[in-house]
């Protein structure tokens, strides 16, 4: 495990987390967050901890995984902090340092896999990816799936974007740029 | 004017050890004595002291010196001192040059040898320059003793009263139909809770009755020209359509007027008539007709006011008038307006009827307001709980990044009034409580003792989606209680948005007319943030109150008095000396391209179409040199900084005495 100060430094410099130094702790983000009641710490508190260097606690918190990227907080933040972006950075850091990811990580990855392959999301593929790792959770979702199917809200055949080659070139370049940074 | 051969005296100052601690002053004066045209070179402990100045004076008289160089501190410190000494000894003060060997040398150079060398170079430059100096004389102009005050709020009224009491004539221009400004809308004032009307109404009356104050209400400044001591101002007097001389202020016209529109004074909470006075204590008490809503102006029919006016004061034929006045000084006191919270959709202002702005809530609390001072909801019910939300629009980089300074305090005043009048629970949602001021923190403590709920967190949402059926009809205020670390959802009957302050609309036009600037938030820039809070870079233009930034009433009044003092001290002088180091345009060379006019930040240059040349107003010119540098025809010379002088100084700085000898003799001889 890396020390708190090394992690804080990496978050601030490599991931531009330094911006959270601007936070005035007004709580607008936590008040706006639909998931805040389920979080270990609201975003406000998470940032207060991160800037004082409690990084291991921050990376172990469920907060970063529960963020649903609704951007409610970002729109209202009086200091213009890109809260959602920082949540992504912290998720990334958590996986980098090998913190045992919760189920949420698998969900994210199941979402990402079809996007990387076809350039767009297909419900069935995402569900299949997640279901293989968490069969129990998958079974619990079967009734919902059937209901969606009956209303023609479930896409069975994986569709692809028109210019899949172009899309993958963009993706490749993005990954390359990320390695450089 | 040609002078006899330059005979220069050079004086090197020790400045205690400030200079001599680093620079070998003896070596510098010795070096100077060998420079061309130098007759005398000395060094002395403190040149600025009386004996130091006397040394210069005596030498000028005894040795017929006609040029002086003092190598000491910055010209900002003592240029004036030595110019005065030169003048006292009988030579033109502009025959003096200062070499800065303290700020530019001894204080910033580590190595004594290098410092001494630099001092020699600087002295050499100054000696070369001073040989080319020309005699200049400053002009003296009369100062018009009248003062214009723009804005009739508490700052402007106070400034006008103080100047008028000092025996000078004041023109007070106010764009609304009545003076009084924002303060006349308030009910109580923090932290003493005295009644705003009780303390401001006497001021309104005093202004209205003062023999030295000429009030121009419902009027706007249309143009300002001239310069310090001699401004010419055009005032646009909007037609009231009521003859102020005939009107008795009986109010029958207002009563009979059939047209109703939302009241600006009550911030849309009530309706007013198309012929109206903004509030009962208005000064003057003469109504105005709002032509946009008057049936006669809209449809050509009605004239009810005219019919019922016994004094025959209604005059539909009135026209806009432009009045020209002359003043020596101008005080800007245009004040503030409140932030409109509509863009913050999460607070539902305009959507939920029980969400009010703070200025609306002032009106609700005021005895002349929509509810005659009772705190009730729009259904007429007494509220059981009220939320007050701080920092609405303020401290938010999406709107106004600054703290509006007064909201914490007026919010707590509201909390007190709500508790006192209704007994309702009051929730103050704040980020930080800012209570710096006499008796302010004590007021905060008093509110805590009164049982106000202080919740530290910015409200993220106000919604009518309640959690339980018994709260139906209430508004839910959602915020993280950042100290208790939980999200609270509190049902309330009324919400007050403590909106921030922003500069009054039109402030930029006024600033442009008088040649001053506003900051990125729109507030007027003062001359110096600490030592020139009421002055501006334009001489004779002063500022007071909220036009410079958010302020409470005591500060606004203090600034009004301060600006009055500054204006009085200027106009009391009677005469004004105008700096001689200004630019001059050679009419023979000027081709009328007007590029100089464009770059002049002081508006000192004007164009004569008939002659196709530009001219400099020396009273406005600050000698910055923008025009001289811009002129493509080299028609402009900046006196005391002309090309001869600057080139000679540069040559002197860069080359040794043997080289810069060139050109000096034949030109200066």
Confidence of residue B509 (pLDDT cuts 50, 70, 90): very high
Q: Are residues A108 and A82 in the same domain?
A: no
Instruction: Say if the Cβ atoms of A78 and B485 lie within 8 Å.
Output: no
- Separation of alpha carbons B147 and B88, rounded Å: 35
Q: Are B265 and B272 in contact (CB under 8 A)?
A: yes
Confidence of residue B666 (pLDDT cuts 50, 70, 90): very low
- Considering only CB atoms, which chain B residues are within 8 Å of A78? 391, 395-398, 458
DSSP per-residue letters across B331-366? EE---EEE---TT-GGG-BTTBTTEEEHHHHHHHHS
Instruction: Say if the Cβ atoms of B480 and A27 lie within 8 Å.
Output: yes
Give me the pLDDT at residue B3, please.
55
Phi and psi torsions of A87, nearest 5°: -65, -40
Nearest-CB residue to B457 (from A26, A37, A78): A26
Confidence of residue B668 (pLDDT cuts 50, 70, 90): very low
Least confident window among B452-456, B559-563, B618-622, B644-648: B618-622
Signed CA dihedral, B478, B481, B486, B490: sign only: negative
Instruction: Say if the Cβ atoms of B480 and A42 lie within 8 Å.
Output: yes
Give me the pLDDT at residue A181, please.
64
Instruction: Say if the Cβ atoms of B481 and A27 lie within 8 Å.
Output: yes
Residue B369, pLDDT > 70, answer: yes
Task: Report chain A's C-alpha Rg in angstroms.
Answer: 18
Q: Are residues A15 and A91 in the same domain?
A: yes
Q: Are residues A15 and A32 in the same domain?
A: yes
Query: What's the number of domains chain A is made of?
Result: 2
Confidence of residue B26 (pLDDT cuts 50, 70, 90): very high
Instruction: Say if the Cβ atoms of A27 and B391 lie within 8 Å.
Output: no
Size of interface A-B (CB pairs under 8 A): 63
CB-based burial, B14-38: b 16+ in 10 Å, e otherwise: bbeebbbebbbbebbbebbeebbbb
Tens-binned pLDDT, residue by residue, of chain A (181 aa): 689 999 999 999 999 999 999 999 999 999 999 999 999 999 999 999 999 999 999 999 999 999 999 999 999 999 999 999 999 999 999 988 988 777 777 888 888 888 888 888 888 888 888 888 888 888 888 888 889 889 988 877 878 889 999 999 999 999 898 777 6
Residue B236, pLDDT > 90, answer: yes
Q: Searching chain A, which residue's CA lies closest to the CA of residue B343? A: A76
C-alpha distance from B482 to closest chain A C-alpha (Å): 6
Which domains occur in chain B, in start order? Answer: 8-136+644-668 (3.40.50), 147-336+503-572 (3.50.50.60), 339-501 (3.50.50.60), 581-638 (3.30.70.20)
Nearest-CB residue to B479 (from A24, A27, A80): A27
Which residues lie closer than 8 Å to A176 by C-beta, 6 or more apart? none
Mean pLDDT to the nearest integer, B56-61: 96
Q: Are residues A11 and A91 in the same domain?
A: yes
Least confident window among B34-38, B73-77, B648-652: B73-77
Nearest 5°: CA angle at B474, between B468 and B478?
A: 80
Tell me the pLDDT of chain B averaged across its residues. Answer: 94
Nearest-CB residue to B479 (from A24, A31, A79): A31
Q: Are residues A149 and A71 in the same domain?
A: no
* Residue B485 in contact with partner chain A when CB distance is under 8 A: yes
- Separation of alpha carbons B604 and B616, rounded Å: 6
Q: pLDDT tens digit string along B565-585? A: 999 999 999 998 888 899 999
Among A43, A78, A82, the residue to mutate for chain B (most B Cβ within 10 A): A78
Nearest-CB residue to B487 (from A30, A76, A79): A30
Which residues lie closer than 8 Å to B69 by C-beta, 6 or more apart? B8, B9, B10, B11, B32, B96, B97, B98, B99, B123, B126, B127, B130
**Interface ipTM:** 0.80
Instruction: Say if the Cβ atoms of A30 and B482 lie within 8 Å.
Output: yes
- Separation of alpha carbons B535 and B228, rounded Å: 12
Instruction: Say if the Cβ atoms of B461 and A27 lie within 8 Å.
Output: no
- Separation of alpha carbons B593 and A180, rounded Å: 55
Confidence of residue B32 (pLDDT cuts 50, 70, 90): very high
Signed CA dihedral, B614, B617, B618, B623: sign only: negative
- Tokens linked to A146: 């059937």
User: Residue B192: enclosing H or E segment and its boundaries?
Assistant: none
- Tokens linked to B450: 């009164």
C-alpha distance from B484 to closest chain A C-alpha (Å): 11
Q: Are residues A54 and A17 in the same domain?
A: yes
Q: Are residues A107 and A71 in the same domain?
A: no
- Separation of alpha carbons B540 and B559, rounded Å: 16
Instruction: Say if the Cβ atoms of B457 and A76 lie within 8 Å.
Output: no
C-alpha distance from B276 to closest chain A C-alpha (Å): 41
Helix, strand, coil percentages (3-state) for chain A, rounded to 5, are: 65, 0, 35
C-alpha distance from B463 to closest chain A C-alpha (Å): 12
Q: pLDDT tens digit string along B630-660? A: 999 999 999 999 989 999 999 999 987 655 4
C-alpha distance from B493 to closest chain A C-alpha (Å): 20
Q: Are residues A74 and A136 in the same domain?
A: no
Q: Which of these, B157, B120, B248, B182, lies nearest to B656 by C-alpha position? A: B120
* Residue B398 in contact with partner chain A when CB distance is under 8 A: yes
Chain B, 615 to 644: residues with Cβ < 8 Å from chain A are none
Q: pLDDT tens digit string along B406-454? A: 999 999 999 999 999 999 999 999 999 999 999 999 999 999 999 999 9
Nearest-CB residue to A76 (from B346, B395, B487): B346
Confidence of residue B1 (pLDDT cuts 50, 70, 90): very low
Instruction: Say if the Cβ atoms of B398 and A78 lie within 8 Å.
Output: yes
Among B460, B477, B487, B489, the residue to mutate for chain A (most A Cβ within 10 A): B460
Among B390, B458, B488, the residue to mutate for chain A (most A Cβ within 10 A): B458
Strands B501-503 and B541-543: unpaired
- Considering only CB atoms, which chain B residues are within 8 Å of A26? 391, 431, 457-458, 482
Instruction: Say if the Cβ atoms of B480 and A24 lie within 8 Å.
Output: no
Q: Are residues A48 and A74 in the same domain?
A: yes
- Considering only CB atoms, which chain B residues are within 8 Å of A45? 482, 485
Last residue of a domain, one of A42, A62, A96: A96
Q: Which domain holds residue A15?
A: 4-96
Q: pLDDT tens digit string along B471-501? A: 999 999 999 999 999 999 999 999 999 999 9
Instruction: Say if the Cβ atoms of B485 and A42 lie within 8 Å.
Output: yes
- Considering only CB atoms, which chain A residues are within 8 Å of B463? none
Residue B338, pLDDT > 70, answer: yes
Chain B, 288 to 347: residues with Cβ < 8 Å from chain A are 346
Last residue of a domain, one of A96, A111, A132: A96
Nearest-CB residue to B457 (from A27, A76, A80): A27
Q: Are residues A115 and A131 in the same domain?
A: yes
C-alpha distance from B397 to closest chain A C-alpha (Å): 6
Q: Are residues A91 and A10 in the same domain?
A: yes
pTM attached to this predicted model: 0.81
Among B393, B428, B461, B482, the residue to mutate for chain A (most A Cβ within 10 A): B482
Give me the pLDDT at residue B619, please.
81
Instruction: Say if the Cβ atoms of B482 and A44 lie within 8 Å.
Output: yes
Q: Are residues A13 and A35 in the same domain?
A: yes
Q: Which of these, B643, B612, B611, lies nearest to B628 by C-alpha position? A: B643
Give me the pLDDT at residue A88, please.
93
Confidence of residue B664 (pLDDT cuts 50, 70, 90): very low
Q: Searching chain B, which residue's CA lies closest to the CA of residue A81? A: B397
Confidence of residue B662 (pLDDT cuts 50, 70, 90): very low
Chain B, 407 to 466: residues with Cβ < 8 Å from chain A are 431-432, 456-461
Among A23, A25, A27, A72, the residue to mutate for chain B (most B Cβ within 10 A): A27
Instruction: Say if the Cβ atoms of A27 and B460 lie within 8 Å.
Output: yes
Nearest-CB residue to A31 (from B395, B398, B457): B457
What's A8's domain CATH number? 1.10.1060.10
Last residue of a domain, one of A43, A63, A96: A96
């Amino acid at each position: 495990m890396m020390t708190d100060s090394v992690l804080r430094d990496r978050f601030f410099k490599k991931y531009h987390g330094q911006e959270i130094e601007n936070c005035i702790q007004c709580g607008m983000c936590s008040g706006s967050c639909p998931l805040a009641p389920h979080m270990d710490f609201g975003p406000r508190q998470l940032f207060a901890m991160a800037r004082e260097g409690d990084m291991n606690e921050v990376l172990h918190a469920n907060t970063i995984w529960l963020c649903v990227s609704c951007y409610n907080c970002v729109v209202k933040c009086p200091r213009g902090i890109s809260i959602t972006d920082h949540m992504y950075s912290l998720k990334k850091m958590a996986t980098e340092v090998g913190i045992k990811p919760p189920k949420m990580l698998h969900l994210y990855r199941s979402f990402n896999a079809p996007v990387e392959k076809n350039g767009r999301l297909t419900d069935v593929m995402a569900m299949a990816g997640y279901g293989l790792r968490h069969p129990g959770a998958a079974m619990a979702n079967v009734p919902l799936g059937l209901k969606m199917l009956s209303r023609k809200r479930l896409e069975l055949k994986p569709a692809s974007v028109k210019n899949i080659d172009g899309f993958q070139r963009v993706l490749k370049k993005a990954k390359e740029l990320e390695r450089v940074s | 004017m040609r002078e006899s051969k330059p005979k220069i005296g050079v004086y090197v100052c020790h400045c205690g050890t400030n200079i001599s601690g680093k620079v070998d002053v003896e070596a510098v004066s010795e070096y100077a004595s060998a420079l061309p045209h130098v007759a005398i070179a000395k060094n002395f402990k403190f040149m600025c002291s009386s004996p130091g100045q006397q040394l210069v004076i005596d030498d000028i008289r005894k040795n017929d010196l006609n040029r002086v160089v003092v190598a000491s501190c910055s010209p900002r410190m003592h240029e004036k001192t030595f110019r005065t000494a030169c003048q006292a000894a009988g030579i033109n003060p502009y025959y003096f040059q200062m070499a800065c060997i303290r700020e530019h040398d001894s204080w910033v150079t580590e190595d004594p040898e290098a410092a001494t060398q630099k001092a020699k170079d600087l002295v050499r430059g100054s000696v070369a320059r001073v040989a080319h100096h020309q005699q200049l004389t400053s002009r003296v102009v009369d100062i018009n003793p009248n003062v214009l005050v723009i804005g009739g709020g508490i700052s402007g009224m106070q400034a006008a009263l103080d100047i008028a009491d000092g025996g000078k004539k004041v023109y007070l221009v106010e764009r609304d139909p009545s003076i009084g400004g924002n303060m006349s809308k308030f009910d109580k004032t923090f932290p003493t809770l005295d009644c705003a009307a009780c303390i401001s109404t006497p001021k309104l009356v005093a202004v209205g009755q003062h023999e030295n104050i000429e009030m121009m209400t419902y009027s706007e400044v249309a143009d300002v020209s001239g310069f310090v001591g001699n401004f010419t101002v055009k005032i646009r007097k909007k037609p009231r359509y009521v003859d102020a001389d005939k009107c008795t202020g009986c109010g029958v016209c207002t009563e009979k007027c059939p047209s109703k529109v939302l009241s600006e004074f009550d911030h849309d909470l009530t309706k007013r008539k198309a012929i109206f006075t903004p509030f009962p204590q208005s000064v003057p008490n003469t109504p105005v007709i709002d032509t946009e809503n008057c049936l006669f102006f809209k449809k050509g029919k009605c004239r009810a006011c005219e019919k019922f006016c016994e004094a025959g004061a209604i005059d539909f034929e009135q026209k806009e008038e432009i009045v020209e006045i002359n003043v020596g000084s101008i005080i800007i006191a245009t004040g503030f307006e409140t932030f409109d919270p509509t863009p913050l959709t999460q607070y539902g202002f305009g959507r939920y009827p029980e969400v009010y702005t703070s200025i609306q809530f002032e009106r609700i609390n005021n005895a002349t307001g929509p509810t005659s001072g009772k705190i009730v909801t729009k259904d007429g019910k007494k509220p059981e709980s009220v939320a007050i939300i701080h920092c609405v629009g303020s401290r938010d980089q999406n709107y106004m990044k600054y703290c509006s300074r007064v909201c914490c305090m007026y919010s707590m005043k509201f909390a007190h009034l709500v508790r006192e009048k209704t007994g309702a629970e009051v929730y103050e949602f704040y980020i930080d409580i800012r209570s710096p001021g006499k008796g302010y923190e004590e007021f905060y403590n008093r509110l805590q003792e009164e049982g106000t709920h202080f919740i530290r967190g910015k409200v993220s949402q106000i919604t009518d989606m309640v959690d339980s059926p018994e709260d139906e009809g209430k508004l839910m205020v959602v915020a993280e209680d950042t100290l208790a670390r939980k999200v609270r959802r509190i049902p309330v009957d009324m919400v007050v948005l403590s909106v921030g302050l922003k500069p009054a609309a039109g402030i930029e036009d006024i600033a442009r007319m008088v040649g001053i600037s506003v900051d990125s938030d729109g507030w007027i820039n003062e001359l110096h943030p600490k030592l020139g809070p009421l002055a501006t870079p334009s001489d004779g233009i002063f500022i007071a109150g909220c036009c410079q930034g958010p302020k409470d009433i005591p500060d606004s009044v203090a600034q009004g008095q301060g600006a009055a003092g500054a204006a009085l001290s200027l106009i009391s002088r009677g005469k004004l000396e105008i700096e001689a180091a200004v630019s001059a345009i050679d009419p023979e060379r000027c081709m009328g391209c007007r590029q100089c006019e464009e770059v002049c930040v002081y508006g000192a240059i004007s164009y004569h179409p008939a002659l196709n040349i530009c001219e400099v107003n020396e009273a406005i010119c600050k000698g910055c040199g923008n025009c001289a540098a811009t002129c493509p025809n080299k028609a402009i010379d900046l006196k005391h900084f002309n090309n001869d002088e600057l080139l000679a100084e540069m040559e002197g700085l860069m080359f040794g005495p043997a080289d810069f000898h060139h050109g000096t003799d034949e030109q200066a001889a």
